[in-house]
Structure 1
């Protein structure tokens, strides 16, 4: 019997890595995508293989639409791909209207267009059934002035998740996870991250394992689609 394969974008590091490990633990072979983090990708593949499954590395710059489509084609050619997790994203520190929206193309290209291109290519190659999981951000339900373009990209991805769930049913189930305080943002101190627990009803920050477990839960369901599950400890209720 052929094992199912899950493609997780940006799975060399951080949340993407946790998702790859969690799905490997559930028996999925892993198509491990990376762009520049080649050394980290090799280490993640080693962690995945400890569960007795295969891990294959795929490099692609997902800000280029043709590379999105090529990536899906390469994975399908070599695997029984049934799960796509859109985890790769960019979170620029300088991202406001006052700074001239310089990051617009880069953020929108990777955070919103890439998941759409990947999902389209996934559907074109998956006639029977499959799962698409989009990684979102819980903060976008509470408007603020920081990280303007990032927020817009994730809001668009939220809408895309719900739209695709309707358009691709009944063959493809499309869901999302809206993340809260899971890992310290790049450049932030661990102390600052830990103090964030003071604003969270559960009085603690989350862990990457919680995200991996949630993805594993969603891909095991046969009657859930169009859902965005908050993983934020109640912070954005």
Structure 2
């Protein structure tokens, strides 16, 4: 073996994680850094938490910068991508972790579905991830070499939800948006090959949400065949696995302790409150 090639430094890869200032997005960002990736930390309003995430990543020896953008704004989504790549170089992965999550139900009375609420849900949960995937695809296609020839094919990872495989009527607009994103991801995986992979990652109940109590969350978290659902680190480990597995595209990986195998007429959080 040539000694110069043996001693050549490993080129670091770079990932953009949306919603990386806190909760699951933060866990994903930090775990990528633990595996040697540089990380672009996107945040909406949580600047203090974003700066803390950046500091934690830098302590691990990886580059990190925080980037603010409102994912309900098409122009800010495009600016986010170009600002990240201008400051950190070409991206090797995008993890679309940011999500609008609020309760509604189609049968609720007396109001109909709120149009502004529905549109924002679709903008943040569907359009933003699709636009970012398109931008990364264009980045890759503009390169002269076919990435599949080197074995390194960048990925867009879409955080979905286990309930897509086992529907119930709670969180109607949110669930509809995640279903649309899963469908879009399959189509993009076909359309963007061989330059870009697109993969869904569907967690189960992972952290307390909305009005859920800590005791209610702990009880709900055990309501799976494995008696445990996903944790943020479970999700983060799977995201890195997808990013570094060049043969995975156009599918969804469920990380939920088997929660999707148990039919339920209500969202699991309502079973323990």
**TM-score, normalized by the shorter chain, greater than 0.5:** yes
TM-score bucket (shorter structure): over 0.9
> Do the aligned partners of 1:201 and 1:234 also contact (CA within 8 Å) in 2?
yes
Query: Could you tell me which residue of structure 1 aligns to residue 83 of structure 2?
Result: 74
| Deviation sequence 1:39-73 (CA, Å, 0-9, x none) | 11011111111210011110000111111111111
> Do the aligned partners of 1:22 and 1:212 also contact (CA within 8 Å) in 2?
yes
| Residue 225 (structure 2) aligned to one of 193, 201, 207 | 201
| TM-score, length of structure 1 as denominator length | 0.95
**Per-residue deviation at 1:144?**
1.6
Query: Could you tell me which residue of structure 2 aligns to residue 114 of structure 1?
Result: 128
Provide the rounded CA distance (Å) in 2 between the counterparts of 1:11 and 1:139: 23
* Residue 86, structure 1, aligned to residue 100, structure 2: no
> Do the aligned partners of 2:203 and 2:230 also contact (CA within 8 Å) in 1?
no
Query: Could you tell me which residue of structure 2 aligns to residue 187 of structure 1?
Result: 211
| Residue 32 (structure 1) aligned to one of 31, 34, 41 | 41
Query: Could you tell me which residue of structure 1 aligns to residue 70 of structure 2?
Result: 61
Aligned residues: 237
Which blocks of at least 5 consecutive residues in structure 2 are unaligned?
Answer: 1-8, 142-146, 148-152, 262-273
Q: Which moved more, 1:191-200 or 1:31-40?
A: 191-200
Provide the rounded CA distance (Å) in 2 between the counterparts of 1:70 and 1:26: 28
Provide the rounded CA distance (Å) in 2 between the counterparts of 1:41 and 1:59: 9
**Per-residue deviation at 1:198?**
4.2
Query: Could you tell me which residue of structure 2 aligns to residue 126 of structure 1?
Result: 140
> Do the aligned partners of 1:95 and 1:150 also contact (CA within 8 Å) in 2?
no
TM-aligned CA distance change 1:97 to 1:63, over 3 Å: farther
* Residue 104, structure 1, aligned to residue 118, structure 2: yes
| Residue 24 (structure 2) aligned to one of 15, 25, 40 | 15
Provide the rounded CA distance (Å) in 2 between the counterparts of 1:95 and 1:148: 5
Q: Which SS does the other structure have where 1:77 is aligned?
A: helix
Query: Could you tell me which residue of structure 1 aligns to residue 144 of structure 2?
Result: none
**Runs of 4 or more above 3 Å deviation:** 94-97
* Structure with greater proportional strand content: 1
